[in-house]
Amino acid sequence: MHISLDALRRIVGSSNVLTGEDVSARQADWMTGAACRAGAIVRPADTDELSRVMQACHAARQPVVTHGGLTGLVHGGDAQPDELVVSLERMTAIEALDEVGCTLTVQAGAPLQRVQEAAVEAGLQFPLDLGARGSCTIGGNIATNAGGIRVIRYGMMRQQVLGLEAVLADGTVISSLNRMLKNNAGFDLKQLFIGSEGTLGIVTRAVLRLQPPTPDEQTALVACPSFDALTGLLAHMSKSLGGSLGAFEVMWQNHYRLLTETSGRHTPPIAVEHPFYVIVASLGSEAERHGEQFNHALETALERELIVDAVVAHSQTQRDALWAIREDIEGLIQTLAPLFTFDVSLPIAAMSAYTGQLERAVERCWPQGRLVVFGHLGDGNLHISVSVGSADPDTRHAVERLVYEPLAELGGSVSAEHGIGTEKRPWLGISRSAEEIRLMHTLKHALDPLGLLNRHKVLGHGSTTTSTGN
Q: What is the pLDDT of residues 150-168, one digit of tens each?
A: 999 999 999 999 999 999 9
Residue 29 has pLDDT above 80, yes or no: no
* pLDDT, mean of residues 2-27: 95
Residue 466 has pLDDT above 70, yes or no: no
Residue 464 pLDDT: 39
User: Pick from 129, 96, 125: which is nearest to 111 by CA?
Assistant: 129
As a whole number of angstroms, the distance between CA 158 and CA 143 comes to: 10
Residue 34 has pLDDT above 50, yes or no: yes
* pLDDT, mean of residues 98-117: 97
Q: What is the pTM of this model?
A: 0.91
Residue 397 has pLDDT above 80, yes or no: yes
Beta carbons within 8 Å of 367's beta carbon, 6+ residues apart: none
Residue 469 pLDDT: 54
pLDDT bucket at 76, cuts 50 / 70 / 90: confident
Residue 462 pLDDT: 47
* pLDDT, mean of residues 382-393: 96
Backbone φ and ψ of 437, nearest 5°: -65, -40
> For the chain, where do the domains classified as CATH 1.10.45 start and end?
419-470
* pLDDT, mean of residues 398-409: 98
Helix (H, G, I), strand (E, B) or coil at 374: strand
Cβ atoms < 10 Å from Cβ of 227: 19
Residue 377 pLDDT: 86
Residue 463 pLDDT: 41
As a whole number of angstroms, the distance between CA 333 and CA 382 comes to: 17
> For the chain, where do the domains classified as CATH 3.30.43.10 start and end?
5-87
Single-letter residue type at 408: A
* pLDDT, mean of residues 355-382: 95
pLDDT bucket at 269, cuts 50 / 70 / 90: very high
Burial 127-150 (b: 16+ CB within 10 A, else e): bbbbebbeebbbbbbbbbbbbbbb
> For the chain, where do the domains classified as CATH 3.30.70.2190 start and end?
216-330
Residue 119 has pLDDT above 50, yes or no: yes
Q: Which CATH number fits domain 5-87: 2.40.160.40, 3.30.43.10, 3.20.20.450, 3.40.50.150?
A: 3.30.43.10
Beta carbons within 8 Å of 214's beta carbon, 6+ residues apart: 125, 244, 246, 283, 284, 285
Class level of CATH domain 337-418: alpha beta
DSSP state of 250: E
User: Pick from 105, 84, 91, 95: which is nearest to 45 by CA?
Assistant: 91
Residue 28 pLDDT: 79
As a whole number of angstroms, the distance between CA 90 and CA 108 comes to: 10
Residue 467 has pLDDT above 80, yes or no: no
Backbone φ and ψ of 365, nearest 5°: -85, -35
Could you confirm whether domain 94-209 is CATH 3.20.20.450? no
Residue 443 has pLDDT above 50, yes or no: yes
* pLDDT, mean of residues 17-42: 89
* pLDDT, mean of residues 197-202: 97
Residue 210 pLDDT: 98
Q: Which CATH architecture has domain 419-470?
A: Orthogonal Bundle (1.10)
Q: Write down the mean pLDDT value for the chain.
A: 94
Residue 461 has pLDDT above 80, yes or no: no
Residue 390 has pLDDT above 70, yes or no: yes
pLDDT bucket at 257, cuts 50 / 70 / 90: very high
User: Pick from 467, 374, 364, 420: which is nearest to 197 by CA?
Assistant: 420
Contact (Cβ atoms closer than 8 angstroms) between residue 280 and residue 234: no
As a whole number of angstroms, the distance between CA 276 and CA 230 comes to: 7
Task: Give the N- to C-terminal CA distance of the chain in Å, as an integer.
Answer: 30
Rg of the chain in Å (alpha carbons): 23
Residue 317 pLDDT: 97
* pLDDT, mean of residues 335-356: 96
Q: Which CATH number fits domain 216-330: 3.40.50.2300, 3.30.70.120, 3.30.70.2190, 2.40.110.10?
A: 3.30.70.2190
pLDDT bucket at 349, cuts 50 / 70 / 90: very high
Residue 428 has pLDDT above 50, yes or no: yes
> For the chain, where do the domains classified as CATH 3.30.70.2740 start and end?
337-418
